[in-house]
Amino acid sequence: MNTYARLPVTFVKGEGVWLWDDRGERYLDALSGVAVCGLGHCHPRLAKAICEQASTLIHTSNLYRIEKQERLAECLVALSGMDNAFFCNSGAEANEAAIKLARLHGHNRGISLPTIIVMERSFHGRTMATLTASGNRKVQAGFEPLLSGFVRAPYNNLEAVAQVAANNKDVVAILVEPFQGEGGVNIPEAHYLQQLRALCDQNGWLLMLDEVQSGIGRSGKWFAFQHSQIMPDVITLAKGLGGGVPIGACLAKGVAADVFKPGNHASTFGGNPLACAAALETLQVIEDENLIGHAAEIGDFMRDRFKRQLADVVGVVQVRGQGLIVGVELAVPCVELVKRALERKLLINVTSDKVVRLLPAFVMQQREAEQVVDVTCELIKEFLNS
Ligand SMILES: *Cc1c(COP(=O)(O)O)cnc(C)c1O
């Protein structure tokens, strides 16, 4: 169906931060399949793990125990400090699980119309519940009626959340991204999550973090909440978790970990042996190659270099980010830059109309990062002067 305005290029091969198209041209990838291929393209260890699992056992269903799913759950629980995991196949599905969990939690506590606080400019996916939760009219328009049970507050504004809550006795949870990716690479104040945590504790709400983009090392730690000395009740994961193989997860802790009972939620494919083998190897490679520390360094390096090269450029609003997400906000819409970068054999993204967004693989080296920044800066300057 006509759901994507695709760029006129077909990639047929990848290795590390490089992609080749069907004419043999090579491209530098600063987007990694939208924050998915953290290990770079076709990491030999990931490819081997997938091949081995594919020739051993691909799928059995969740009617039976799945050894690699149990091991993956143990890994994620150990890395995050959460208690348990539900596996699905995408970010939207992980958030659906979180939303259902919060609603059931509300019903268990006698709240018959449970309400979840969500944020302006947020993005949580394209299913009916997650597009309702998303704070972007473009994502919702034409798909009304939206779901009930959500109230919205501005991002990075604690007062507003407290105020929304004061007017609504049915609130059971907050669903929020530790940083907003699609919404324009918006990094909240340092104490934002701590303050939301305190508000949740005061009111008996669940703090549910959408770490679909920020999780699995992207923020410069395993999970973005680990920058702020708090524990969430629920976190959702997908994108980078399987290194390119579709898998999502909803992790829960404490009271939230005991909400679902057999029959409440399920997925045919969720956490199958193939997807879990890919995710297990992805986590192991990140650990063995110390990729998170490296990602954080490369991210800082890129932001510094952008700031220096764009310091006096009129029309550049701000360079920002965290870990290996880099955003450059311009004063004007700049979606055109994506095409111009493609002509220069560089893959970048523009989100929220005005924000150039880079999400390189964690394996990107300094020399490649320099090339990404230098070409992007040239393109930005040309664009602003034209
Ligand atoms: C990409 C994204 C989603 C949706 O993930 P899908 O796998 O496309 O369903 C949800 N939340 C955030 C924060 C995302 O970045």
190-221: burial string, b at 16+ Cβ within 10 Å, e else = eebbebbbebbeeeebbbbbbbbbbbbbbbbb
Give the nearest ligand 1 atom to 93 CA: 9
Nearest CA to ligand 1 atom 11: 124
- DSSP secondary structure of 309-349: HHTT-TTEEEEEEETTEEEEEESS--THHHHHHHHTTEE-E
Amino acid identity of residue 180, one-letter, is: Q
Alpha-carbon distances, residue 351 vs 179, 355, 356 (angstroms): 14, 5, 6
- Give the containing element (helix H, strand E) for 85: strand 84-88
Q: Mark the ranges of the chain whose per-residue pLDDT is less than 50.
A: none
From the CB of 357, is ligand 1 less than 6 Å away?
no
User: Rounded to whole angstroms, how far apart are CA atoms 224 and 203?
Assistant: 24
User: Rounded to whole angstroms, how far apart are CA atoms 205 and 51?
Assistant: 43
User: Rounded to whole angstroms, how far apart are CA atoms 288 and 138?
Assistant: 41
Cβ contact 294:362 at 8 Å: yes
Residue count of the chain: 386
Position 86 scores a pLDDT of 98
From the CB of 369, is ligand 1 less than 6 Å away?
no
User: Rounded to whole angstroms, how far apart are CA atoms 28 and 12?
Assistant: 14
Position 378 scores a pLDDT of 98
Position 245 scores a pLDDT of 98
Give the position of tokens 């450029």: 313
From the CB of 177, is ligand 1 less than 6 Å away?
yes
Position 180 scores a pLDDT of 98
Between strands 84-88 and 248-252, the pairing is antiparallel
Position 91 scores a pLDDT of 98
From the CB of 192, is ligand 1 less than 6 Å away?
no
Q: What φ, ψ does residue 79 adopt, rounded to 5°?
A: -70, -30
Model confidence pLDDT, tens digit, residues 339-348 = 999 999 999 9
Position 167 scores a pLDDT of 87
Give all domains of the chain, ordered by start, each with its CATH number: 11-30+290-385 (3.90.1150.10), 46-288 (3.40.640.10)
Token pair for 2: 């006509």
From the CB of 211, is ligand 1 less than 6 Å away?
no
Nearest CA to ligand 1 atom 5: 91
Q: Which of 118, 105, 183, 196 shows the shortest CA–CA distance to 150?
A: 118
| Residue 119 CA, ligand 1 centroid: distance in Å | 15
Position 282 scores a pLDDT of 98
From the CB of 92, is ligand 1 less than 6 Å away?
yes
